[in-house]
Amino acid sequence: MKGNNLIISESVNFQRIPIIITLTFFVLALYIALANHNYWTFDIDGQYYLEMGKEILHGKGENVLIPNAGIGGPVIYALLDELVNDGFNLLKIIAVICSSAIIYFTYHIIRNFLDHKTAIVGQLFLVFNPYFLFFSIQAENEILPFFLFIASLYFITKKNLTKKDIIFSGFLIGIAFTIRYQFVVPFLSYIIFIIIYRNNFKKKISQSVLFITIFFLIISPVLIYNEIMFDSVLGGNSSWYIASSSKFASTEFREQSLGTNGIVELILLDPGLFLKNYFWNMFYNIPGNLFNFNFIGNTSISPIIPFVAIFPFLGGLLYNFKTEFSRKKLIFLISVACITTIMILVFGDITIHGVAICLIPIFVFVMMNIRKIEQNFLPILIIPIIFFLIMSVIRLFSGEQFFIISISISVFSAIFFMKMIPEIYLKIRKMNNRFIYKRGLQIFLIVIIASLFASDLGYSYVLYRTNNSGIPFESINKEILYLIEENNINVLGEEYKKAGEILSKESNIEKKYIMTNNWLLTPYVDSKLLFTLFNEGEENESIENFLIRKDWKEHEILNSGTSSIPSDRLNKLQPIPDYLVFTPHEALINNQHDFLRILLDPSNPNVPANFELIFASEKIDLVVYKINYDD
């Protein structure tokens, strides 16, 4: 696959460009992280992980349940925080260093099977990924395991795979798994790759066993911990987490999922409902996020223009096989497409599952020709397939959840622009080699790729601005005006800091509970936190009954307990709040109870008489009440 490239002159020194890109990214990311991103906002999850890690280290892990992550990250962050006592900047610096290393490794991964120029373009596609840019400066839990995965991918895609490479890869992906369980996807992908890669049966077995052994040696402490604490190697209530995020699920189904242990029991609970969610995820939700099927929050290489990103992905994917379509092959693939269409029309919904008419024949084509591509390229091909098969069990809805396949998308997109388009151009022109460097083609590709990167930067800015200001996106025109007027991007963090500082001056605040729907106050006030989404319980409940969590459902109590500080997954503490901090949640605004939303207007006569207003923001919808139970 390391053929001649048709676009850029060979006189360019490509050895230095990846280093320049990496260093430039590092300097800019470090500057933004330390000089501009000064408040916990979207990355407040990082504060939660820190607090949970501290509780585990202090021997309180029995009551701690982290629903969507392993304990590896929280424990690592808490241990490091013991040294620096500055969790916010610690996590940001980890993100900056790891993201810069990811960029550097990405180039060398692609160089394992492609030429310099295509590797540089592939590297840039990852650099400009909006969610990658966004999380590269966040105090979050995403970039560290992604770096470990990228480093493992570098070793597993080497041209001459050795035992040392397999050991390093198993070690790195094992650590990544202890932080985020979805890294089971590359683990399974690597095993499949090793089995396909080796022709010698003994080597298939020995290297597979070596890789699996190293992986399980690394993750065994976490699995043992989970088994002791939760009677489950993946932690407690994993099936509830899947059910709670499902697109199609009744309240009864979510409640019943609490009584199941693992995905098998969840499937048996309602096989039809599980399959309905599974195929919705596989053929609508995941492709919609990857290729922007009019999804506002998407991780497409063209986040602004719907559907465009599917062409570089499929073009770059199919280009690698270099196979001729015989009449029999075409008839077979058309038959697969026809059968898929009939199945959808009979059993499915064409508006939801329609993309399967394209994806399933492509999958069949890939399986038919998989041995025709370079062996060390196989992981890049296998990872997206396993991702679709495994991750469809759960509803993914945010760009960082697709980091695992972002490297594959970057590679296929780079191949499409740097190899497929020039080759098509040459075939159309039917010119000889002296026209290879035709300026018109160069300009065309530079303009297209630069336009994609510019749209990614714009999307990244909006992503950063909305999450730090709390003001949602409305239109491009308003975003431009917002930028020109130099409005304060950090207003959300600043207002929560004011509220936290006021609360910190309250008497015995360290013993008091604050009821709120996020952890933004935690860095500024040393109190306890009772988490709520403000949509639990009955619609026509009273504020007083809401405070004592009367009529809350079992899964709502669990979600509140596991998200509170200190964590209370077993519902032993049963706290009653001393303070209430209310702000509308944009994603839940239609579900938040009306009897609670009246709290935004302190003059409303329906606000309980024992609610004493101690802070009301003039810039955002944020109110803080002290609850006087003696009144």
**With 0-12 CB in 10 A as exposed, 13-18 as middle and 19+ as buried, what is 394?**
buried
In a domain, 306, yes or no: no
Q: Which residue from 595, 293, 420, 367 is spatially nearest to 6, judged by alpha carbons?
A: 420
Name the domain boundary from 116, 141, 166. 141
- With a cut of 60, say whether residue 7 has pLDDT above it: no
Q: What is the pLDDT of residue 4?
A: 46
What percent of the chain has a predicted confidence (pLDDT) above 70?
93
Same domain, 151 and 135: no
Per-residue tokens: 182? 């979805």
Arithmetic mean of pLDDT, 196-208: 84
pTM: 0.91
pLDDT in tens, 445-495: 889 999 999 989 988 988 898 888 877 777 778 778 777 777 778 889 999
Same domain, 115 and 179: no
- Measured from the Cβ of residue 442, the count of other Cβ atoms closer than 10 Å reads 15
Quote the strand ranges of 92-143, DSSP E: none
Q: What is the pLDDT of residue 431?
A: 56
Q: What is the pLDDT of residue 6?
A: 46
- With a cut of 70, say whether residue 438 has pLDDT above it: no
CB within 8 A of 352, min separation 6: which ones? Answer: 279, 280, 283, 284
Reported confidence tier of residue 350, pLDDT bands at 50, 70, 90? very high
Q: What is the pLDDT of residue 44?
A: 85
Reported confidence tier of residue 430, pLDDT bands at 50, 70, 90? low
What is the three-class DSSP state of 582? strand
Reported confidence tier of residue 389, pLDDT bands at 50, 70, 90? very high
- With a cut of 80, say whether residue 585 has pLDDT above it: no
Q: What is the pLDDT of residue 14?
A: 67
- With a cut of 90, say whether residue 600 has pLDDT above it: yes
What is the three-class DSSP state of 247? coil
Instruction: Report, in angstroms and rounded to the nearest whole number, the Rg of the chain calculated over CA atoms.
Output: 26
Number of domains in the chain: 3
What one-character DSSP code corresponds to residue 531? E
Same domain, 505 and 615: yes
Using DSSP bridges, classify how beta strands 513-516 and 611-616 pair: parallel, antiparallel or unpaired: unpaired
Per-residue tokens: 121? 């373009």
Same domain, 60 and 136: yes
Same domain, 505 and 613: yes
* Domain that residue 614 falls in: 491-627
In a domain, 338, yes or no: no
- With a cut of 80, say whether residue 525 has pLDDT above it: yes
Q: What is the pLDDT of residue 367?
A: 86
In a domain, 409, yes or no: no
Name the domain boundary from 236, 269, 299. 236
Buried b (16+ CB within 10 A) or exposed e, 559-595: bbbbbbbbbbbeeeeebebbbbbbbbeeeeeeebbeb
Whether the bond between 566 and the residue before it is cis, its omega within 30 degrees of 0, is yes
Same domain, 497 and 617: yes
In a domain, 308, yes or no: no
Same domain, 32 and 136: yes
Same domain, 551 and 578: yes
Same domain, 151 and 115: no
Arithmetic mean of pLDDT, 312-324: 84
Same domain, 110 and 150: no
Per-residue tokens: 115? 């030429």
Arithmetic mean of pLDDT, 25-40: 94
In a domain, 183, yes or no: yes
Amino acid letter for position 100: S
Residue 528: strand pairing partners: 513
In a domain, 418, yes or no: no
Q: What is the pLDDT of residue 614?
A: 96
- With a cut of 80, say whether residue 5 has pLDDT above it: no
- Strand (E) or helix (H) holding 84: helix 72-84
Q: For all residues of the chain together, what is the average pLDDT?
A: 88
Same domain, 549 and 529: yes
Amino acid letter for position 352: I
In a domain, 404, yes or no: no
Per-residue tokens: 169? 């890869």
Residue 22 and residue 100 in contact, taking contact as beta carbons nearer than 8 Å: yes
Name the domain boundary from 236, 252, 269. 236
In a domain, 556, yes or no: yes
Same domain, 37 and 111: yes
- The secondary structure of 446-479, three-state, reads HHHHHHHHHHHHHHHHHHHHHHHHCCCCCCHHHH
How far is CA 509 from each of CA 504, 516, 562, 573, 578, rounded to the nearest angstrom? 6, 15, 21, 17, 9
What is the three-class DSSP state of 512? coil
Q: What is the pLDDT of residue 11?
A: 46
